[in-house]
């Protein structure tokens, strides 16, 4: 069996240890000969990399491990790049969230003005990773889950249309896991029909492999409980703010009662509720800085101080096993059915063929093949047309350095009440992002 060489871009990410643990736990399904971490911030990557190195020494000494900030070293001789970078880090995420809130508008990592700001920062960085990969390992595939995935995916479509990159999100995977608990199955037992944009979509059917239709049972459950489940799920999406998000799905479902909503729709359907329930001085970025970041880096420092890995300092990020499923699908041509972010090309029959949509795909060695989801209803179509125009305008604004188009993007976002407020937020975001964005004119 071939053994693969993998580079994780964003080596200093809080997600890296969990993903490495998951990869080591999956070596029988996806054998790895070489694992490299790559980051553009040596100081941030170092503790994570040193601790991961000690963990690998214990768990899988046969895997060659290294870490670097040198793109040549990182991207030479790799089969897969798993990318989870955060351009600007948590300090910029905090600004993405707090600046819109100062104007009474949703402040969120991937949705609304915050997502637009983050998108403008992520575009050049993800494109740079693609270029490194194509230059040093031209046959490699990039599995990208760096956010904001929809804007990043649109930028890839426009700027690197032939690149071997698959953009994918963990949110539908996480929600499907919740659904599987609700109906007493595992996610692998279920097939879904789904359409939307990233962080913006609906399940129209959830069925067992034997054809049993669980959709009515799920709709009934979610209408009462949202996606809150009795059974504790996993480490991902468990903080208090996430529990409120899972619960809110009941109200989202009330708007489209025959299909199951992606939880992120709350930012578009109930922005007033979201703003009322957000502390503008302590947002999700602060929660993560005080929670996940402290926990992961604390564990890394403990391992380094002890000089060895005892086995329980890092948790296996089982929720991320979809990344192994995706790598396997490409490596072994499995044609596994997975939700990916792909160019529509008729998969949603009455929607822009050149939009980047999130739909079920069969993934094989040529990448994802979208499955046709047919025509969608007027309400969802209208929402998606508005949102996809926002995403396209952001990429156009980035490419043309256009203030006008970025202002239009903010104005069109369903989270923003007027062109006046959009302009005020934009001007603050430009000031905050002057080290990252191209100069707009």
- Interface with ligand NAD (CB under 6 A): 9-10, 12-15, 39-41, 44-45, 84-87, 89-90, 125, 145-147, 149, 169-170
Closer to ligand NAD by CB, 165 or 376: give it: 165
Closest distance of CB 100 from ligand NAD, Å: 17
Closest distance of CB 85 from ligand NAD, Å: 4
**What's the rounded Cα separation, in Å, for the pair 281 and 128?**
34
Closest distance of CB 69 from ligand NAD, Å: 8
**What's the rounded Cα separation, in Å, for the pair 232 and 266?**
23
* Options 96, 170, 317, 428, the catalytic residue: 170
Closest distance of CB 51 from ligand NAD, Å: 14
Closer to ligand NAD by CB, 108 or 164: give it: 108
Closer to ligand NAD by CB, 89 or 367: give it: 89
Closest CB to ligand NAD: residue number: 12
Q: CB of 29 within 8 A of CB of 46?
A: no
Q: Is 170 a catalytic residue?
A: yes
Closer to ligand NAD by CB, 100 or 114: give it: 114
* Options 145, 194, 214, 264, the catalytic residue: 264
Q: Which of 359, 366, 331 is nearest to 345 (CA)?
A: 359
Closer to ligand NAD by CB, 208 or 291: give it: 291
Q: Is 67 a catalytic residue?
A: no
Closest distance of CB 137 from ligand NAD, Å: 16
Residues serving a catalytic function are: 170, 264
């Amino acid at each position: 069996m071939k053994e693969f060489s993998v580079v994780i871009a964003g080596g200093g990410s809080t997600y890296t240890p969990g993903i490495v643990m998951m990869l080591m736990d999956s070596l029988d399904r996806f054998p790895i000969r070489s694992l490299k971490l790559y980051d553009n911030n040596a100081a941030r990557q170092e503790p994570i990399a040193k601790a991961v190195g000690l963990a690998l020494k214990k768990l899988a000494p046969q895997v060659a491990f290294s870490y670097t900030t040198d793109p040549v070293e990182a991207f030479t001789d790799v089969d897969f790049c798993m990318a989870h970078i955060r351009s600007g880090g948590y300090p910029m995420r905090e600004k993405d969230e707090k600046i819109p809130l100062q104007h009474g508008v949703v402040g969120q990592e991937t949705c609304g003005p915050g997502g637009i700001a983050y998108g403008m920062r992520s575009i050049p960085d993800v494109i740079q990773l693609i270029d490194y990969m194509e230059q040093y390992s031209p046959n490699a595939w990039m599995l990208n889950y760096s956010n904001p995935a929809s804007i990043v995916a649109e930028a890839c479509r426009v700027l690197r249309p032939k690149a071997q990159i698959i953009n994918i999100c963990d949110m539908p995977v996480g929600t499907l896991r919740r659904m599987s608990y609700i109906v007493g199955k595992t996610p692998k037992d279920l097939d879904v029909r789904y359409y939307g944009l990233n962080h913006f979509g609906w399940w129209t059917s959830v069925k067992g492999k034997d054809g049993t239709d669980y959709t009515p049972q799920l709709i009934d459950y979610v209408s009462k409980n949202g996606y809150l489940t009795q059974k504790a799920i996993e480490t991902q999406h468990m903080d208090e703010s996430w529990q409120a998000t899972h619960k809110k799905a009941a109200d989202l479902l009330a708007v489209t009662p025959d299909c199951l909503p992606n939880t992120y729709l709350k930012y578009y359907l109930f922005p007033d509720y979201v703003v009322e329930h957000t502390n503008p001085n302590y947002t999700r970025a602060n929660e993560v800085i005080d929670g996940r970041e402290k926990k992961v880096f604390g564990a890394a420092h403990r391992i380094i101080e002890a000089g060895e890995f005892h086995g329980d300092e890092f948790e296996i990020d089982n929720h991320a096993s979809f990344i192994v499923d995706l790598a396997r699908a490409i490596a072994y041509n499995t044609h596994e059915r997975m939700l990916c972010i792909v160019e529509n090309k008729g998969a949603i029959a009455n929607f822009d063929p050149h939009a980047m949509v999130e739909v079920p795909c069969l993934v094989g060695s040529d990448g994802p093949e979208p499955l046709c989801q047919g025509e969608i209803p007027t309400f969802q179509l209208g929402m998606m047309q508005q949102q996809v125009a926002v995403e396209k305008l952001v990429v156009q604004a980035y490419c043309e350095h256009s203030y006008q188009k970025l202002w239009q993007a903010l104005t069109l976002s369903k989270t923003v009440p007027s062109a006046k407020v959009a302009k005020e937020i934009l001007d603050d975001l430009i000031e905050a992002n002057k080290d990252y964005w191209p100069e707009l004119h």
